[in-house]
Structure 1
Amino acid sequence: MRQQKSISTHDLKIAWLLPTAWFYWQPSLSELAKLCPNTKVFAGLFPGFAKGFENALDVEVVGKRKVVAVTKSSTSYGDNFTYLSPKIVPRLLRYKPDVVFSSSFGIWTILALLFKPIGGWKVVIAYEGSSPGVDYRNSPLRLWLRRMMVWAADACITNSNAGQKYLIESLASPQELTLVQPYEVPDARSLAATNESLELVSPESQLKFSELKRPVFLFVGSIVPRKGVRCLLEACRLLKEAGFHSFSVLLVGDGTQQSELRDFTQKHQLEDCVTWVGRVNYDDVGTYFHHADVFVLPTLEDTWGMVVLEAMLMGKVVLCSTGAGTAELIVDGENGYRFSPNQPQELAAAMQRLIEDPSQIPAMSQRSKDIMAAYSPEKAGLFLSQVAASVLGVEST
């Protein structure tokens, strides 16, 4: 039997199981790796390292991730099955981790729990956040399976209070073992740099950043129904009908709804205030944050909404739908405003406040930075190391 009490945090072997090791995971996990050098990420898909994090993590791709849509939804996540390779089992048995962090309730989490007695590791389930499309509250079978997984796990972590509430109330996770702390948080290195050569908002428009009417409202994300971009455009229409013309909206991203919404923009004569930027490299996203005054996330449903934290880190006022988990970080009137999903009147009212009185923007922007000071990658990495230590019963050093 392992003499776990004598192990320091620095000596722990930690495995992270991620269906996809997206860029937004890398800041926190790289900080965890500094505290626990024997940290390894096993991923079904790895798109590469984010700028500033080259080779900051030990990442191994296992098999090939495949997402199968069971039922599709344009306004929600839909019901999907993510296939992940069973080869994760021999990889874990060979690696011999002390603690396995596994994302959500997928096949890799099931396998980590089933082989827990053989491998002798502890399992922590990482549940990003709560939302109707992923909670399956109306599926007795899914809920039963998740309750069994929570029962077999040693702890659960989540980014949001809503996620913690779901784990405790719907899945019977013990409160003392259900920990809430944002662990998917951005790092300034990936966003702070601006591309000085990028003078035009988009090649298509030939509009320069210096020519934008202020305040500048920014959306970054997929142009799909779930993200609620139509709500933002409806709000722009309402503002123009009310006589407000001195503002700009930048839409960064692409997706299946882009053609439809471009037609909406033309039909309602919004071209003078709405600019379709299209898809940009992640390394250039910081440039758009730099030139914006306000970030808008009108999503109908997002378990977390990492882009809100990126905007706050960059010192932006945030208008956020309550459909996003990160809406918990918005304090109305202090660093932004919250509004109900798919309610353009509410969003237009929030935008109008900032258009009529832009002098409040600097103080609200600073408040966003102040709030984000509590949610750095360093603090997230420390939190994860403390969770690992606590499930093993060792001292966190």
Structure 2
Amino acid sequence: MILKSNTGKQKMLIFHPALTPYRIDQFNSLNEIYDLEVVFLFGKLWNFAIDQQNLEKECHYKISYLLNGPRYKGRLFRFGMYRKIKEVNPDVILGYEYSFTTQYLIFLKSVGLIKQKIGSSIDDSLDICMNVQSKTRKLIRDYSVKHLDFVVVMSEEVARFYRNNFMFDEKQVIVSPILQLPERLRKDPEKIESLGQDYISKYSLTGKKVILFVGRFIPEKALPLFIDTVAPILAEWENVVLVLVGEGEQKEMLSTLVKEKKLEGKVIFPGKFQAEELYGWYACASGFVLPSLSETFGAVVNEALIFGLTVLCSRYAGASSLIHPGNGILFNPSNSSDTREKLQQYVDNLKPTGDVCLAARPVLMDDQAQNFIKEWGKLNYE
């Protein structure tokens, strides 16, 4: 029997690690289709210094927290999940990845304590799906998918992988990439433009082709490899600058590499930025690069496209599914010849920075609203 809430919509209960800016629009959109409650398992994301209360104000769905339970090496279990399920009595329950949370949902259903449809959101790119990190993870994945009613994946390529390898039918695989809405990110154009103009002035970027990177300085992002590969041609270009926005464990290594390659002034480390301060960088840049060797999705690609930037995107990133000839170029960061060739092609089509004007930067993302409704509507199957 399908239950209805007092809104007339089916109820959905999601267990998710933490509230993050890039998930807000996806959950808000889900709340328009379902009567949604999201239970967060961390009070805040450990690597985000964000005003949690301001984030919560942007959420149009019900929020609750389960914060008690063991945690070990990034893996956690929270007490109270079954009690929350009984309290909400949802039609659909969604866990994440092949976590302990998802395993507990599988257990509850296998022993008959819950009867709802259960699924999990899987952020893996196609490359990660095909080259599983460990035998243990592969065993857990292969076991889990046999007991899940559906999975939520980031791209059609990954959906095809699950249908072909695990006998899921069309309705059991929902394609729902992590997309943000342009109207939310670009809602204060005057402030964003002002910040962008300030960055241009502070770092003397006028007339330069500014290639932006946003993210953590960690091995998966492959920034040292990218800089080492493109250093010879980057040094030759007088009007090209690489701006690395972020922080992380490889900061010192990257700074040393930039000095060794004599790229001071060609590679800029302005620090970590968030919200409008980050959007100012998108607004003043000429283009965007994501050189990751391993990337589940890459929400920054969506952000760059929202601010009208074409993207030089690693073929290993899940967000490569958003790239087409009209908004970017895909490249293989593990192939130095391909990286240099595609970078040259990419830079040739970039415009130097000047006056920052968002109105002159149309969004380069296709409207996904109808497809979002169609995909999540698959859960209405009996």
Give the structure-2-normalised TM-score: 0.83
* Counterpart among 200, 203, 206 of residue 207 in structure 1: 203
- Residue 100 of structure 1 aligns to a residue whose secondary structure is strand
Whether the aligned pair in 1 keeps the contact of 2:213 and 2:290 (CA below 8 Å) is yes
Matching residue of 2:357: none
* Structure 2 CA distance for partners of 1:360 and 1:379, relative to 1, 3 Å: farther
- How far did residue 58 of structure 1 move? 1.4
Structure 2 Cα separation of the partners of residues 213 and 272 of structure 1: 14
Matching residue of 1:45: 42
The answer as to 2:268 corresponding to 1:275 is yes
The answer as to 2:218 corresponding to 1:228 is no
Matching residue of 1:100: 93
- How far did residue 174 of structure 1 move? 1.5
* Structure 2 CA distance for partners of 1:359 and 1:85, relative to 1, 3 Å: closer
Matching residue of 1:160: 155
Structure 2 Cα separation of the partners of residues 256 and 217 of structure 1: 22
* Structure 2 CA distance for partners of 1:136 and 1:49, relative to 1, 3 Å: farther
* Structure 2 CA distance for partners of 1:35 and 1:245, relative to 1, 3 Å: same
Q: After superposition, what is the alpha-carbon deviation per residue over 1:222-263, rounded to whole angstroms, capped at 9, x for unaligned?
A: 01121111233224412145x322112111000000111111
Greater CA drift, 134-143 or 250-259:
134-143
Structure 2 Cα separation of the partners of residues 142 and 9 of structure 1: 39
Structure 2 Cα separation of the partners of residues 144 and 353 of structure 1: 42
Task: Trace 1:85-124 onto structure 2 (pairs within 5 A).
Answer: 85-116=78-109, 117-124=112-119
- How far did residue 15 of structure 1 move? 0.3
- How far did residue 353 of structure 1 move? 2.2
Q: After superposition, what is the alpha-carbon deviation per residue over 1:97-155, rounded to whole angstroms, capped at 9, x for unaligned?
A: 11112211111112222223323311122212236667774755543443332222222
The answer as to 2:62 corresponding to 1:58 is yes
* Structure 2 CA distance for partners of 1:218 and 1:197, relative to 1, 3 Å: closer
The answer as to 2:303 corresponding to 1:310 is yes
The answer as to 2:80 corresponding to 1:83 is no
The answer as to 2:380 corresponding to 1:386 is no
Matching residue of 1:17: 15
* Structure 2 CA distance for partners of 1:239 and 1:16, relative to 1, 3 Å: same
* Amino acid in structure 2 at the alignment position of 1:158: V
Structure 2 Cα separation of the partners of residues 182 and 198 of structure 1: 31
Aligned length: 364
* Counterpart among 29, 32, 46 of residue 30 in structure 2: 32
- How far did residue 44 of structure 1 move? 0.9
Structure 2 Cα separation of the partners of residues 368 and 239 of structure 1: 30
- How far did residue 50 of structure 1 move? 6.5
Q: After superposition, what is the alpha-carbon deviation per residue over 1:79-102, rounded to whole angstroms, capped at 9, x for unaligned?
A: xx5112132121112211111122
The answer as to 2:222 corresponding to 1:263 is no
Whether the aligned pair in 2 keeps the contact of 1:231 and 1:343 (CA below 8 Å) is no
Whether the aligned pair in 2 keeps the contact of 1:218 and 1:294 (CA below 8 Å) is yes
* Amino acid in structure 1 at the alignment position of 2:377: Q
Whether the aligned pair in 1 keeps the contact of 2:286 and 2:350 (CA below 8 Å) is no
The answer as to 2:343 corresponding to 1:347 is no
Structure 2 Cα separation of the partners of residues 226 and 207 of structure 1: 28
* Amino acid in structure 2 at the alignment position of 1:316: L
Whether the aligned pair in 2 keeps the contact of 1:301 and 1:324 (CA below 8 Å) is yes
Q: After superposition, what is the alpha-carbon deviation per residue over 1:44-99, rounded to whole angstroms, capped at 9, x for unaligned?
A: 12433676952422111112587644xxxxxxxxxxx5112132121112211111
Q: Where in structure 1 are there 5+ consecutive unaligned residues?
A: 70-80
Whether the aligned pair in 1 keeps the contact of 2:150 and 2:174 (CA below 8 Å) is no
- How far did residue 8 of structure 1 move? 10
* Structure 2 CA distance for partners of 1:151 and 1:9, relative to 1, 3 Å: farther
Structure 1 Cα separation of the partners of residues 252 and 36 of structure 2: 44
- Residue 45 of structure 1 aligns to a residue whose secondary structure is coil
- Residue 312 of structure 1 aligns to a residue whose secondary structure is helix
The answer as to 2:169 corresponding to 1:175 is yes
* Amino acid in structure 1 at the alignment position of 2:378: V
Matching residue of 1:147: 142
* Amino acid in structure 2 at the alignment position of 1:335: N
* Structure 2 CA distance for partners of 1:64 and 1:165, relative to 1, 3 Å: farther
Structure 1 Cα separation of the partners of residues 315 and 7 of structure 2: 37
Q: After superposition, what is the alpha-carbon deviation per residue over 1:16-57, rounded to whole angstroms, capped at 9, x for unaligned?
A: 111223222110111111232x21001112433676952422
Q: Which has the higher contact order (CA 8 A, sep 6+)?
A: 1
Whether the aligned pair in 1 keeps the contact of 2:288 and 2:310 (CA below 8 Å) is yes
Give the structure-1-normalised TM-score: 0.80
* Amino acid in structure 1 at the alignment position of 2:321: E
